[in-house]
Amino acid sequence: MCSEKMILKHPMSVRIFHYLLIVSFLPLAVTGLILYFKLFSGESMNLTMQIHVLAGVLLTLDAVAFFLIGFERVVLFVKRVFTISVNDVKWFAVLGGYPQKLLLRKKVPVPPMGKYNSGQKLFGICVLIGGTLLVGTGWILWAFPHNTPRETVALMGTLHTVFGILLTIFLPVHLFLGIYMFDDFKAMILHGRIPYDEAREQSPLWVEKEVIPLNK
Amino acid sequence: MENKQYDYVENPFNVTRRQFMTIGGLIVALMVLPSLWVRSLVSNRSRYILARTKGLYRDDEKAKIRVSHANRAVAGYYRDFGGKPLGELSEALLHTKYINRTHGLAG
Amino acid sequence: MNAAVKTYQKGEIPGVIAINESLCKGCDACKRHCPTGAIRGLFGSAHSIDADRCLSCGQCLINCPFGAPYETSDTVDDVMKKLNDGTVTVVGIIAPAVRVAIGEDFGLPAGSLVTGKLYGAMKRAGFEIFDNNFAADLTIMEEGTEFIVRARHAVFGEAGEHGGEIGPLPQFTSCCPAWVRLVETRYPSLIPHLSTAKSPQQMAGAVAKTYGTKVWGKPAGKVYTVGIMPCTAKKLEASRPEFRSAYEYHRREGEAGSATPYPDVDTVLTTRDLARLFKKMNIDLAAEKDVEGGTLFAEYTGAGTIFGNTGGVMEAALRTAHAVMTGSELKPLEFKAVRGLKGVKSASVTLRDRKYDKDVTIRVAVVHGIAENITALLEEVLAGRSPYHFIEVMNCPGGCINGGGQPIDGGGSSWLSAALPWFAWK
């Protein structure tokens, strides 16, 4: 236990949702690449596909459960990622200060951000739309390719590939930055809490407008 | 564990009721609309088969002669060359025998 | 490619359909359309076709979302060469199902009846027209008479006029080559039940090279017959070595002709193949004006044209059987009980056989989409429990109009296609 003040950034429901995302999406991405590039054949390819489907079903259950149980969090998330302003453009102009911090060890001024910075909002939109499409197209490709019109299935296949590759490329970025920002890492992966001072520096608008002291 | 794990939380009234309904409604609509579209595609998938079927029945309806035994050209074939149905020439030209191909298959 | 020869005679095309493994995603959609489980390959891995089980029906080809199955036999260039050869009479044998589908490859709506335009385009390309609907009428005369002989033998003990064995009931139609191959490879004990009548395509080929030579004034060796069919299995059918009846006929007649045997149907183009041929020759079918067939081989009846629909052969046969047995025409001519997309349709017709002055009840069945619908019916027949006397079988769901050689329909919703024209699977 530490003496600094903590904000509950990610409640338990969110963290469980995210754990299940990790467990399902990582196998999906790996098996997805194997399937797309046809790295195996025969029995191994069959096994790869079965893992892909199993993980996809798990992802579906996770998403549906969270949608039903944590609907207010979903609404909050949608509101946050789609609230865009000119600050987001300015953030991208300096790439959030990350390359400068990582490569040049220089600190540059960054416009004030809410709970999610501009990069996280972009990632959030990609995951929301891409993830939903991947799940939807995935089910049709797996369960209904024979009675859905072939043109439609072909479209589903294209969408599945495009968004699958998009998210798989974005994934290492998310993994790296998610671990690099170690306080946030602990918040999402461990206990859900982030130090108040850290939050005020990274997400000043969030702390200012949305964070309140816990009532006793 | 203990009572005081954290000191601050997100204000639960960040999202107004109206915002909640709007955003929530949009999310649900955006999920439901594509599934309705795909469902209508699936249920319409035999439309082209029915269209072609109708085309042939229309060809039948507008035909002047609609029964095979009244086809004058066919009658002419039999009269001038073919003989009669199941006759010798028909057996040679228009009938066939079939083959048991299972000797090659394992089963 | 598919070098299996275990269930093919010498000369037959072994494996009309094959799968391009680089396009196949292993989604298994094709397996659910295959009537014989001929597609090999685990879910997720590239599939292949077992040619010994394959019927060449092409249902996998028209349903695969990724276009992985393809035809191994493509003779469009050969036909074009013959069309350009002034010494050869190229005869195009047009199936009924072609005239309601070929327009789709030229931008016309699905099901557009384009007989006149088709004739026009074919004449422009240099074809002599032989409408397979004429041959369908001929098939009804042969097969209908055969059925009446079998029925009168079964009911009244009448012996056939020609001596020889009379086949058993129920009689199965034999115009669908995929169905015939199913019987030959899976249910050989049913072979006696198959009508001995050839399919209209094969009758057309035999007639074109015998009777046709007198009508056109050309020797049989200079007649090149091209089946234009909605069906990939017809390519296999035309290659059957026993289908050289015209050659045998000329040999028996002592007419000097070709030393090497020639087939009754030289080659088969699918509807898609013909559309491609027209495009290669810069012929736009949609822009053609309606044209008459012109010869007696283009004369057909409504009964012949409905052969392309499931139930059509049965309806045509019943119209004629009714007239022959009772002496009067079926009223109304439309026999709706055998129409429609239900997997197995059945009906019964009671009519007075004027020869014996007795009422006869004929029970008929129509089955299509045999991947789903044939097994129970055949098991009934094999067990001797079938209530039917005459059964029409078409491999493809809906009949030949939805055959493996037809223009591929993307099946998309109409408003979407209108908004995004590049979306159409053409």
Q: Are residues C368 and C229 in the same domain?
A: no
> Would you say the C-alpha torsion A20, A26, A27, A29 has a positive or negative sign?
positive
* pTM of the full structure: 0.91
As a whole number of angstroms, the distance between CA A28 and CA C315 comes to 54
Known active-site residue C195: yes
Task: List pLDDT tens digits, range C7-16.
Answer: 999 999 999 9
Catalytic residue, chosen from C30, C57, C176, C400, is C400
Q: Are residues C107 and C145 in the same domain?
A: no
Cβ-Cβ contacts under 8 Å for A160 (sequence gap 6 or more): A133, A134, A137, A138, A141
Considering the domain boundaries, does residue B1 fall inside one?
A: no
Considering the domain boundaries, does residue B7 fall inside one?
A: no
Look over chain C and give the mean of its residue pLDDT values, rounded to a whole number.
91
User: Hey, are the CB atoms on C425 and A150 less than 8 Å from each other?
Assistant: yes
Tell me: pLDDT of C165 over 90. no
**What does the angle CA A110 – CA A114 – CA A115 come to, to the nearest 5 degrees?**
120
A50 contact residues in C (CB cutoff 8 A)? 43-44
- Residue C290 domain boundaries: 76-134+199-301
pLDDT at B3: 47
- Residue B48 domain boundaries: 17-82
Q: Are residues C229 and C99 in the same domain?
A: yes
Cis geometry, peptide bond prior to residue A109 (ω within 30 degrees of 0): no
User: Hey, are the CB atoms on A148 and B41 less than 8 Å from each other?
Assistant: yes
Considering the domain boundaries, does residue C362 fall inside one?
A: yes
Chains that touch B (3 or more CB pairs under 8 A): A, C
Give the residue carrying structure tokens 């054949």.
A41
Please report, for chain A, the start and end positions of each structural domain, with discontinuous segments joined by +.
Answer: 6-210
Q: Are residues C120 and C243 in the same domain?
A: yes
The last residue of one of the domains, among C301, C317, C341, is C301
pLDDT band at residue C163 using 50, 70 and 90 as cut-offs: low
pLDDT at B41: 83
Q: Are residues C225 and C91 in the same domain?
A: yes
pLDDT band at residue B106 using 50, 70 and 90 as cut-offs: low
A6 contact residues in B (CB cutoff 8 A)? 5-8
- Residue in chain C lying closest to B78 (CA): C138
User: Hey, are the CB atoms on C198 and B94 less than 8 Å from each other?
Assistant: yes
Tell me: pLDDT of A64 over 60. yes
Q: Which residues of A touch C (CB under 8 A)?
A: 35, 38, 40-43, 45-46, 48-50, 52, 141-142, 145-147, 149-157
Known active-site residue C234: yes
Considering the domain boundaries, does residue B21 fall inside one?
A: yes
Considering the domain boundaries, does residue B70 fall inside one?
A: yes
Across A9-21, average pLDDT: 94
Tell me: pLDDT of C418 over 60. no
Name the percent of chain A lying above pLDDT 90.
77
Across B35-59, average pLDDT: 89
Known active-site residue C242: yes
Q: Are residues C59 and C84 in the same domain?
A: no
Tell me: pLDDT of C424 over 50. no
Considering the domain boundaries, does residue C341 fall inside one?
A: yes
- Residue in chain C lying closest to A53 (CA): C44
Pick the CATH number of A6-210 from 3.40.630.40, 1.20.950.20, 1.10.357.10, 1.10.10.10: 1.20.950.20
Q: Are residues C379 and C247 in the same domain?
A: no
Tell me: pLDDT of C419 over 70. no
Look over chain A and give the mean of its residue pLDDT values, rounded to a whole number.
92
Across C388-412, average pLDDT: 90
As a whole number of angstroms, the distance between CA C228 and CA C118 comes to 11
C329 contact residues in B (CB cutoff 8 A)? 67
CATH number, residue C19: 3.30.70.20
Q: Are residues C48 and C146 in the same domain?
A: no
Considering the domain boundaries, does residue B101 fall inside one?
A: no
B83 contact residues in C (CB cutoff 8 A)? none
User: Hey, are the CB atoms on B6 and A214 less than 8 Å from each other?
Assistant: yes
**Minimum distance, in Å, between the CA of residue C29 and any CA atom of chain A:** 4
Across A8-15, average pLDDT: 92
pLDDT band at residue C3 using 50, 70 and 90 as cut-offs: very low
Across B81-102, average pLDDT: 94
pLDDT at B45: 83
**Minimum distance, in Å, between the CA of residue C184 and any CA atom of chain B:** 5
CA nearest neighbour of C1 among C54, C48, C67: C48
- Structural domain total, chain C: 3
Q: What is the CA radius of gyration of chain C?
A: 21
Considering the domain boundaries, does residue C412 fall inside one?
A: no
Q: Is B20 on the interface with A (CB under 8 A)?
A: yes
The more confidently predicted of residues C276 and C254 is C276
pLDDT band at residue A3 using 50, 70 and 90 as cut-offs: low
Q: Are residues C156 and C223 in the same domain?
A: no
Task: List pLDDT tens digits, range C216-268.
Answer: 998 998 999 999 999 999 999 999 999 999 999 999 988 767 778 999 999 99
Q: Calculate the CA A96 to chain-centre distance.
A: 18
CA nearest neighbour of C94 among C121, C68, C76, C65: C121
* Residue C369 C-beta-side C-alpha neighbours within 13 Å: 13
Q: Is C399 on the interface with B (CB under 8 A)?
A: yes
Known active-site residue C184: no
**Minimum distance, in Å, between the CA of residue A44 and any CA atom of chain C:** 8
pLDDT band at residue B1 using 50, 70 and 90 as cut-offs: very low
Cross-strand pairs, C392? C366
pLDDT band at residue C411 using 50, 70 and 90 as cut-offs: low
pLDDT band at residue A41 using 50, 70 and 90 as cut-offs: confident
Considering the domain boundaries, does residue B61 fall inside one?
A: yes
Q: Is C365 exposed, middle or buried (0-12, 13-18, 19+ CB in 10 A)?
A: buried
Judged by average pLDDT, the poorest of A55-59, B27-31, C117-121, C374-378 is B27-31
Task: List pLDDT tens digits, range C78-111.
Answer: 999 999 998 999 999 999 999 999 999 999 999 9
Let me know how long chain B is. Answer: 107
User: Taking a contact as any Cβ pair under 8 Å apart, which residues of chain B between 4 and 33 contact chain C?
Assistant: none
- Structural domain total, chain B: 1
Name the percent of chain A lying above pLDDT 70.
98
Q: Are residues C175 and C40 in the same domain?
A: no
**Minimum distance, in Å, between the CA of residue B53 and any CA atom of chain A:** 19
pLDDT at C1: 39
Q: Are residues C297 and C377 in the same domain?
A: no
Q: What DSSP state is assigned to residue A188? A: I
User: Hey, are the CB atoms on C101 and B97 less than 8 Å from each other?
Assistant: no
User: Hey, are the CB atoms on A72 and B19 less than 8 Å from each other?
Assistant: no
Q: Are residues C295 and C225 in the same domain?
A: yes
Across A18-40, average pLDDT: 95
Residue C389 in tokens: 């006397």
Chains that touch C (3 or more CB pairs under 8 A): A, B
